[in-house]
Amino acid sequence: MSCGERAAGAGWLLALLTLAAARAAAVLLQGSGYAGLLVAINPQVPEDAKLLANIKEMITEASFYLFNATQRRVYFQNIKILIPATWKANNYMKPKHESYEKAEIIVAAPYWKHGDDPYTLQYGECGNMGKYIHFTPNFLVNDYLIDVYGSRGRVFVHEWAHLRWGVFDEYNNEKPFYITGQNQVKVTRCASDLTGLYVCEKKSCTEGNCVINQLSGLFKEGCAFIPERTQTAKSSIMYMQSLSSVVEFCNENNHNREAPNLQNRMCDYRSTWDVIISSMDFNNTLPRTDTSLPPPPTFSLLQKRDRVICLVLDVSHSMNGEDRINRLRQAAELYLLQVVEDNSYVGIVTFNNEGEIRSQLCQIVNKDIRKQLASYLPTAAPSGGTNICVGLQLGFQVIKKQDGNIYGSEIILLTAGEDSGIIECFSNVINSGSIIHAIALGPSAAKEVEQLAHETGGLTFFASDRLDSNDLIDGFSAISSGSGDTFSHSIQIESAGERTESYKQFSRTVTIDSTVGKDTFFVVTWQSAEPPKITLLVPSGKNYTNKDFEVNTVLQVARLQIPGIAEVGEWTYALMNTHLSPQILTMTVTSRAANSTIPAITVKAHISSDRNEYPRAMVVYAQVSQGLSPILGANVTAIIKPETGYPIILELLDNGAGSDIVKNDGVYSRYIYSFSENGRYNLKVHVQRTNKTVRPHPTVPWSHSMYIPGYIENGKIQMNPPRPSVISNEDIQTRVGGFSRTASGGSFIISAVPTRLYTDVFPPCKIIDLHARTANDDIILSWTASGDDLDQGQAASYEIRTSESPLELRNNFDKTMLVNTSDLTPQHAGSKEIFVFKPEAFATENITIIYVAVRAIDKASLHSDVSNIAQAVKFVPPMDYLTDNIEYSVSRIVLLGFGLLTAVCLITSATICALKKRKKVFITETATNLL
Cβ neighbours of residue 84 closer than 8 Å, sequence gap 6 or more: 41, 42, 43, 45, 100, 303, 483, 484, 485
CA-CA distance, 808 to 831, in Å (whole number)? Answer: 29
- Of 805, 798, 799, 801, the C-alpha closest to 816 is 801
Angle, to 10 degrees, between the axis of helix 49-69 and the axis of helix 152-165? 70
Q: Say how many C-beta atoms besides its own lie within 10 A of residue 88's C-beta.
A: 8
DSSP state letter for 5? P
The 3-state DSSP class for residue 118 equals: coil
Q: How far apart (Å, rounded) are the C-alpha atoms in residues 256 and 235?
A: 11
The DSSP 8-state label assigned to residue 155 in this structure reads H
Q: How many helices (H) and strands (E) does the chain have?
A: 17, 49
Question: How far is residue 195's CA from residue 193's CA, in Å, rounded to a whole number?
Answer: 6
Q: CB neighbours of 19 closer than 8 A, spacing ≥ 6?
A: 451, 454, 455
Quote the CA–CA distance of 909 and 201 in Å, as a whole number: 15
| Dihedral sign for Cα atoms in the order 156, 158, 163, 164 | positive
Catalytic residues: 159
Q: Greatest CA separation found in the chain?
A: 95
Residue-wise over 861-885: b if at least 16 C-beta within 10 A, else e?
ebbbbbbbbbbbbbbeeebebeeeb
Radius of gyration of the chain (CA): 30
Other C-beta atoms within 10 Å of 503: how many? 11
Phi, psi of 924 (to 5 degrees): -60, 135
Q: What is the SS3 assignment for 66? A: helix
Beta-carbon contacts of residue 390 (< 8 Å; ≥ 6 apart): 3, 351, 353, 354, 355
Q: Phi and psi at residue 450, in whole multiples of 5°? A: -65, -40
CB-based contacts of 167: which residues, under 8 Å, 6+ apart? 126, 161, 238, 249, 263, 267, 272, 275, 276
